A and B are shown apart, each in its own frame.
Chain A
Amino acid sequence: MTGIFLCSCLGEVCGRAELEKAAGARVFPGERLCTPQGTASMAVSIREHGVDRALVLGCAAAQVDAVCASLRKAACLGTGRVRALRFAKRGNAEGRAASVRAALAALDLVPEVRTRKTKPNREVLVIGCGATGRAASEALASLGRTALMTEAASVTDIRGSAGRFTVRFRNVGGDGENARTFGALIVAAGLPEPDASRKPFVPGRIIPLADLSDRLSGLSRREFPASLAVVLDMEIDETRAGFEEACRACLDAKSLRPVETWVFLHDARVAGPGLEDLYDRAREAGVQFVKYGGRIRLDAAGSGVKVRARDTVLGEEVEISCGLAAVSGYGLATPADAELTAMLGIGTDALGRLQENNIRLLPELTGRAGIFVAGACRGATYGPDAVRDARNAALSAHELLSRPVETELSHAVVDGDKCALCLTCVRLCPFRAMTVNAEKKQAECVPESCMHCGLCAGECPNKAITLPLWSDGIILALSGAAPDAASVAKEKRP
């Protein structure tokens, strides 16, 4: 039986009789429904009269939404069984009656929605054994949660959803694979080494900054370069980690041999503990910092390297030649390892790092529930930032797995007869909830991964996908365009 709860604030706007006639349903006028007492009185009426669908009419949408939420709990009505309708104070009676009828029509189409609780697997997999990975494992341990650490290279496949990921690994010996399930994944895979074979590197003359120290220490007095240039911000904005590495490398070089050193950068990044002091020590030791604007040109001409850039302080072109040049890996666009990104099925930013360009996901979330990112692989390359990331990710993973994963079974439903397996939904779903069921030869939604956004239903070329709580029928009913009976009947129930 459908019950309409009319809040007193709309008293003079439309009378109970008029509403009952228009809607053909039982009307329960109530006092201040948005207050806890109002909600309690409604819950009582629902239980007493066996109301299974409730339409709450109130003055302002915000309050009415809140009332529905609390009413669902109080009267234990399933999701979607309580609908709110904001009544505009103005507008004529006929308009109001029409919108009530539309809301009721939508309510009739709402199916029974069950929820499913699944005990999540308690273990967390940390991908990446660098500093960030270790920080995440330690944070998890302090939260009393077991964690397994592995290198990205050994992961061959990732399936499943929050609470139940199945990950396949290459066996240590290298032959064959094994699989294990985890509740959550923390990706701390760091940035891949800059590929020394690509531009701007020239073996022995222009090398990655990370290799500078061990290269210099291996050189004899004769081979040691008389002058050395470190280049930051070459392709993308440098990080504090790159700036710190540059200062340390120059100081190390000067401690080995007297050598003239330059650091070319857009600007000094000193916002971090000890960085200001490091910068001063480097300058006192004679390291020349050149602030350049725009592009910088490195030519490995003859035996040395020519560096040309526009010095923004002097406002003119500067050219120096030195024995060896080192370019910071952080200042180069080095996308995350493509294979890992594909396995994880999460978005990347313009530079191909594991940080989809969406503020909702900052700092450690990804499009997929249960998969978190931390450290350099998402762009937080500076040590202290990466550690903080690791702790955030550990906390989020811990929170997720410390309570059963409750899934509302109102996920997208695929009608196998109409699905042409065109894979549009599988490719489109931002949350990798859509998979292919090979036996049934159709696409199928993983309830735990589904975020009920309806993108798949909106794009399916054969309209084979329905979102139970947001079916075409319900939406058309709510938009005053009553659905024709035939199309409503065909909609699949969960």
Chain B
Amino acid sequence: MKGGIVALCCENSGWKALASLGDDPVLDGVEAVRLPCSGKAETGMMLKILEKGAAGVLVLGCPKDDCTFLRGSARAQKRVAVARAALKDAGVGEERVRMEFISSVDTPRLAEAIRAMKAALEAHEGKA
């Protein structure tokens, strides 16, 4: 997979789940960026990260009814949707941006999500 996956992590959930993955090989090629909340991840930011060469952006937010800042992950979900639409327009495949609702102890599901994203990116790369 050309370029890595940048994970924009809410520090209250995704960041902790990612940290507790420790040195799991699934994290190869995954660059974790800490945010105060997934609601800080902007559409423009996601697209700019892809522009700079990343293969994918994974936004990790808290489950919507457990969000520390009440509406953070709901806003992030809408912004990811706009980013995906933009990628579809650009013809570069919407799977390059993805949102996952991960609580801080959801480590297995996070690993699964990263694997699924890597697979989707490789599949798309094969096609592109």
Instruction: Verify that A and B bind, or say they do not.
Output: yes
B87 to chain A, nearest CB (A): 16
Contact check, A481 vs B48: say whether CB atoms are below 8 A apart.
yes
Partner of B40, one of A65, A431, A458, A479: A458
A356 at the interface (CB under 8 A from B): yes
A90 at the interface (CB under 8 A from B): yes
The chain A residue sitting closest to B15, CB to CB, is: A61
Which of A88, A476, A481 counts the most chain B CB atoms within 10 A? A481
Contacts of B36 in A (CB 8 A): 452-454, 467, 469-470
Q: How far is the CA of A60 from the CA of B24 in the complex (A)?
A: 12
Q: How far is the CA of A453 from the CA of B75 in the complex (A)?
A: 12
A384 at the interface (CB under 8 A from B): no
Which parts of B10-49 form the interface with A (CB within 8 Å)? 15-16, 18-20, 22-23, 25, 27-28, 31, 33-37, 39-42, 44-45, 48-49
B72 to chain A, nearest CB (A): 6
Contact check, A451 vs B65: say whether CB atoms are below 8 A apart.
no
Which parts of A388-418 form the interface with B (CB within 8 Å)? none
B68 at the interface (CB under 8 A from A): yes
A13 to chain B, nearest CB (A): 11
The chain A residue sitting closest to B10, CB to CB, is: A453
Contact check, A358 vs B35: say whether CB atoms are below 8 A apart.
no
Contact check, B65 vs A470: say whether CB atoms are below 8 A apart.
no
Contact check, B20 vs A62: say whether CB atoms are below 8 A apart.
yes
A323 at the interface (CB under 8 A from B): no
A86 at the interface (CB under 8 A from B): yes
Contact check, B66 vs A358: say whether CB atoms are below 8 A apart.
yes
A457 at the interface (CB under 8 A from B): yes
Contacts of B41 in A (CB 8 A): 458
Q: How far is the CA of A358 from the CA of B12 in the complex (A)?
A: 15
B74-89 vs A, Cβ < 8 Å mask (1 yes, 0 no): 0110010000000000
Report if A455-B54 is in contact (Cβ < 8 Å); known contacts: A358-B66, A479-B6, A480-B6: no
A490 at the interface (CB under 8 A from B): no
Contact check, A455 vs B66: say whether CB atoms are below 8 A apart.
no
Contact check, A454 vs B39: say whether CB atoms are below 8 A apart.
yes
Which of B28, B70, B79 counts the most chain A CB atoms within 10 A? B70
Contacts of A89 in B (CB 8 A): 23
Contacts of A459 in B (CB 8 A): 42, 75
A430 at the interface (CB under 8 A from B): yes
B: interface residue count bin: 35 or more
Contacts of B6 in A (CB 8 A): 479-481
Contact check, B33 vs A479: say whether CB atoms are below 8 A apart.
yes
A351 to chain B, nearest CB (A): 15
Which parts of A190-225 form the interface with B (CB within 8 Å)? none
Contacts of A62 in B (CB 8 A): 16, 19-20
A234 to chain B, nearest CB (A): 26
Contacts of A463 in B (CB 8 A): 44
Contacts of B42 in A (CB 8 A): 457-459, 472
4 closest Cβ pairs, A-B complex: A454-B40, A61-B19, A481-B52, A453-B69
Task: Show the binding face of A for B, using Cβ within 8 Å.
Answer: 60-62, 65, 86, 88-91, 99, 347, 356-360, 367, 428, 430-431, 451-455, 457-459, 463, 467, 469-470, 472, 475-476, 478-482
Task: Show the binding face of B for A, using Cβ within 8 Å.
Answer: 4, 6, 8, 15-16, 18-20, 22-23, 25, 27-28, 31, 33-37, 39-42, 44-45, 48-49, 51-54, 65-72, 75-76, 79
List 20 extra interface pairs beyond A453-B36, A467-B36, A479-B31, CB under 8 A: A61-B16, A61-B20, A90-B28, A358-B65, A358-B70, A360-B68, A428-B75, A430-B70, A453-B39, A454-B40, A455-B39, A455-B69, A463-B44, A469-B36, A475-B35, A476-B45, A476-B48, A480-B52, A481-B6, A481-B52
